[in-house]
Amino acid sequence: MSAPQVMSRPVTAAVETRGVSKVFPMAAGPVIAVRDVSLRIDAGEYVAVCGPSGCGKSTLLHILGCVEIPTAGTLRLDDQDVSSLDDAGRSAVRLAKIGFVFQRFFLLPMLTAAENVELPQAESGVRRAERRRRTAELLEYVGLSHRAHHRPSQLSGGEAQRVAIARALANRPRLLLADEPTGELDQATGDQVARLLERVQADGTTVVVVTHDPAIASRAPRRLMMRDGRIESDAR
């Protein structure tokens, strides 16, 4: 089917950090999750962030997704400085420009697959007819048109994650962030999801995937290796 995204864009920074750090105050003393990370991810790139547990890759992803406020440094998203936005401003940015895919899917169980995909669109004020059209298009894109009216409990893990990807793409985000998107899936299903993410990137969306899975990471054209909150290597 035709891609839901615009295919070609000039090579601009989809997201850029300068000297970003994140410190969590803990009872035993502050924990530095991300240390002085400066990073530029161009529009349309597919980046995998890897590293051992606790190295700060999810925290970095959350900072890139405007759900975590960095302790220091600046964050530019789509050429807009979002470091100083308040909560409402960050919510608006997330709604319009960022799509999230979670390890545990977090589909709303009382809604059908189609309603889950409609949800972000409804929140951003898309009219019902347009929502329906876009939802049908996205479910077809992820190969789940026949499951549109099923609830998450009636979907397999792979199907649920594909619905979650469709939901993440609902508002045509510039940036898709996936945190261990195959973490709950078996190898074969994980491969399907990985291929879908590659397709999303190929259709023009910038994709950043945090993963433990070397197989998934190896499929990304660019791989960031993190250790102790720092980017240890940036391989293309």
Partner 1 sequence: MRAWAFALRSLLRQPARSGLGILGVTAVGTLLFDMLLLSRGLEVSFRHLLDATGFDVRVMAAELPFAGPRLTRATATAAAIARLPEVAAAVPIAVQRATARTGAGASTPLFLLGAGIGAPRPWVVAEGGDLPAEAGNPPAVMVNRRLAGSLHVRPGDVLMLSGPCGAEPSALPAVPFRIAGVAEFPFEEASQANAGMRLADLRRVCGKDADEADLLLVQSRDGVAASQTVQAIHAAQPELYAFSNAELVAQFEQAGFSYFRQISVVLATVTLFFGFLLITALLTVSVNQRFGEIAAVRALGFSRRRVVADVFCQSAVLVGTGGLLALPAGFALARWLDAILRSLPEIPARLHFFVFQPRALVLHLALMVVTAVLAALYPMRLVARLPIAATLREEVVS
* Interface residue list for partner 1 (CB under 8 A): 58-59, 62, 65, 67-68, 87-88, 91-96, 98-100, 102-104, 106, 108-111, 115, 118-120, 122-124, 167-168, 171, 179-180, 183
Q: Min. distance of Cβ 10 from partner 1 in angstroms?
A: 25
User: 2 or 86, CB closer to partner 1?
Assistant: 86
Q: Residue 136: exposed, middle, or buried by beta-carbon count in 10 A (0-12, 13-18, 19+)?
A: middle
Q: How far is the CB of 103 from partner 1 (least distance, A)?
A: 5
The secondary structure element, H or E, covering residue 164 is: helix 157-168
Give the chain's count of helices (H) and strands (E): 7, 10
Distances (CA, A) of 43 to 7, 84, 142, 178, 192: 11, 22, 22, 16, 23
Up-side HSE of residue 113: CA atoms within 13 Å toward CB?
Answer: 29
Residues near 193 by beta carbon (within 8 Å), at least 6 away in sequence? 158, 161, 162, 165, 181, 182, 185
Residues 6+ apart with CB under 8 A from 105: 152, 157, 160, 161, 163, 164, 184
Nearer to partner 1 among residue 6 and residue 122 (C-beta): 122
State the minimum distance, in angstroms, from the CB of residue 230 to partner 1: 19
**Would you say 5 or 58 has its CB closer to partner 1?**
58
Distances (CA, A) of 150 to 8, 16, 120: 34, 38, 18
> Taking the complex as a whole, how short is the minimal distance between the CB of residue 37 and partner 1, in angstroms?
16
Give 3 or 92: the residue with its C-beta nearer to partner 1. 92
Q: How far is the CB of 11 from partner 1 (least distance, A)?
A: 26
* Minimum gap (Å) between residue 227 Cβ and partner 1: 19
Q: Which is nearer to partner 1, 67 or 202 (CB)?
A: 67
H/E run at residue 131? helix 128-141
Nearer to partner 1, 123 or 234 (CB): 123
